Chains A and B, each alone.
Chain A
Amino acid sequence: MRKATAIIILALVGYYFLSVFLTVPFGEKRNNVGQYYLHNTVRETGAVNSVTAIVVSYRGFDTLGEVTVLFIASLGLGAILFDKKGKKRRLQHASLIVRVGAHMLYPLIVLLGAYVFVHGHLTPGGGFQGGAIIATGVLLMFISYRSFETSHKALTYIESIAGMTFVLTGLSGLIWGNSFLQNVLPLGEPGRLISAGIIPIIYIAIGFKVGAELTGLLDNMLKTIKSD
């Protein structure tokens, strides 16, 4: 009874949804705000990657909101899974091949993550991708070794300082410029590493913050598995 009702309702919803989307032609060029962003990105912001310029410079306030949402999610997870006894036992060692391989791959993964978020305005990439890659590298070490620990205090300091850097950069735009998060540094020549004003600074701060946050999230969830 429940399944039949669900299928009928979903068939109705799917039919109307599909009939709306079949009237939108696929792959046609439309004149919208994206055309303005494409034509004026290199001149106004100095960044070569158009998506980075939109995320950090034209719509930078939404990125501040997203960083806040990630912070609240990590905080909520730590508060819900809080255990007063706090037994910190982990699973056993992995086998020899996994241990040696993880030991050799871990610095390379962290280096790749740092490369991705430093060159965010020149190549595809940015703060969120780089932070996720760094968290994956730390996860590899968590799984392979029983005694790999990350210090709780260091993660807290990195996350707080990176978050404050983002907000202070925005406020410096308010003090020396016209609006919040405005570019107040010289733009430079597009295509070089040090260019595009405040965009590399913001993305480096976001990369550190997201990496520390996701590492803390994984540490919280892995902490209370008892070995049997």
Chain B
Amino acid sequence: MIMIYVLAAIIIIAAIFSITQKDLILAVVGTSAISVILSIFYYLLQAPDVALTEAAIGIALSTIIFVIAIKKTERYEE
């Protein structure tokens, strides 16, 4: 029970970290951390299909698409 509160706090901290960073690669790492903990939440809510889908798509593919887009444009904000 205490684990759910700790994981929820980690998600909110990762989301706020991800939108207030000037280095865009760190922002993308924050988004990927949200996907990892969200996959654990889906397992705790008894939904194994959705946990597999979120782990396979949100962690690997979404992050690599962002990193390729950042590599072709600028890395630092402003």
Contact = CB atoms under 8 A, between A and B. Distances in A.
Direct contact of A and B (CB under 8 A): yes
Interface of A: 49, 51-52, 116, 124-126, 128-129, 132-133, 135-136, 139, 214, 218, 221-222, 225
Main secondary structure of the interface of A (DSSP, over half): helix
A37 to B, nearest CB: 14
20 contacts: A49-B49, A51-B49, A52-B49, A116-B52, A129-B53, A129-B56, A132-B53, A132-B57, A132-B60, A133-B56, A136-B60, A136-B61, A139-B61, A139-B64, A218-B61, A218-B64, A221-B65, A221-B68, A222-B68, A225-B68
Nearest to B58: A132
Interface residues of B, number: 15
Of the candidates B51, B56, B64, B65, the one having the most CB atoms from chain A within 10 angstroms of its own CB is B56
Nearest to B48: A124
Contacts, number: 40
Given A221-B65, A221-B68, A139 B60 contact: yes
Contacts of A125: 49, 52
Contacts of B72: 225
Given A132-B57, A225-B71, A225-B72, A124 B52 contact: yes
Main secondary structure of the interface of B (DSSP, over half): helix
B1 to A, nearest CB: 13
A124 B52 CA distance: 8
Contacts of B57: 128, 132
Contacts of B65: 221
Contacts of A128: 53, 57
Given A51-B49, A124-B48, A126-B49, A136 B56 contact: yes
Contact of A129 (B52, B64, B71): B52
Contacts of B51: 124
Contact of B56 (A49, A132, A221, A222): A132
Nearest to B71: A225
A128 B56 CA distance: 9
A220 B18 CA distance: 27
Contacts of B71: 225
Contacts of A139: 60-61, 64
